[in-house]
Structure formats: structure tokens, C-alpha cells
Amino acid sequence: MQVILRWGHHWEGCHINVHVDNMAIISALSSGTIWNAQVMNVLRPIVMLAAQMGFSYSSIWIPSIHNSLADAASHFKYAQLFQMAPSLKKKACPPLPQLHGIKHMLTYLHEWPSSCGMASPPRPSRPI
């Protein structure tokens, strides 16, 4: 998600291959849906940002042993990450100003029923 927010605007008209070591995430990225609400909170903005920024994507499985940088970052093991890749900047890049707040807009509320497929979720009783 952070990669899309930072560099996605450069990908218009491109196809991005995402290397993933988790088969459930491969399935979710390929189908655009998953029953896990927490994963859906991440998947929905990815799909919407890809449409907004004009790029397509697909996922490719790789073994965890070949995904050590991404694995360290996703588990917040920054000491290990910077040891493996000392050239990485240690200060985070800010998201683009035009995308500020987009994650809040796309949050999936747990009390909503699943919105898989083409069905629209019911309107919330209070504004988001």
C-alpha cells in the first residue's frame, strides 16, 4: 500500500507484478475479494488506487526465503531490514498530497456484511 501511495502516480499505463509469499494474498489480489475484513481493508484501497492511477497489477508467488526484505519490513523488523539493505533511507517518504486521507475514505467497517462481488454494501447509519 505504501509503495502505491508513494510511486503509483508514475505507473499510469503500466502493469505491476507484485511478488508475494502468501497464497491467501495471491488469491485475494487475483480475485479482488477475501472474507477476512482486515485483509479487505488493505485490498479495497489497492484496487481503487490502481483504477484511479491507471495501472494494472498481478501477483506472483515467491518462496519466503527469497522475500526476506519485504518480510522484515512487513514484520516491522527495521534493524534487520537496514542490515540487509543499508542503502535504504531510514526516514519514511510522505504520501502525495492529493492522496492524503484516502485510507480513511476506504475503510471497511467490521459491522458491515461482506461486499464481495458486485453487490453494494448497505449504507452506514452514521457518516464515515
* pLDDT score recorded for residue 82: 85
* pLDDT score recorded for residue 80: 87
Q: Is residue 25 part of a domain?
A: yes
Q: Is residue 128 part of a domain?
A: no
In tens, the pLDDT along 35-94 reads 888 888 888 989 999 999 999 999 888 888 888 887 887 788 888 888 988 887 777 666
* pLDDT score recorded for residue 124: 58
Question: Is a pLDDT exceeding 90 seen at residue 116?
Answer: no
Q: What is the pTM of this model?
A: 0.60
Q: Which residue has the higher pLDDT, 13 or 100?
A: 13
Closest CA to 117 of 30, 33, 28: 33
* pLDDT score recorded for residue 123: 55
Counting other chains too, the contacts that 3-8 makes at CB distance below 8 Å and 24 or more residues apart are: 4/46, 4/49, 4/50, 4/53, 5/49, 5/95, 5/96, 5/99, 5/102, 6/93, 6/95, 6/96, 8/49, 8/50, 8/53, 8/55
Q: Is residue 78 part of a domain?
A: yes
Give me the domain span that covers residue 79: 2-105
Q: Is residue 113 part of a domain?
A: no
Nine-digit cell string for 34: 477475501
pLDDT category of residue 106 using cuts at 50, 70 and 90: very low
Q: Domain tally for the chain? A: 1
CB atoms within 10 A of CB 74: 12
* pLDDT score recorded for residue 95: 58
Q: Which residue has the higher pLDDT, 96 or 28?
A: 28
Could you tell me if 84 and 72 are in contact, meaning their C-beta atoms sit under 8 angstroms apart?
yes
* pLDDT score recorded for residue 13: 95
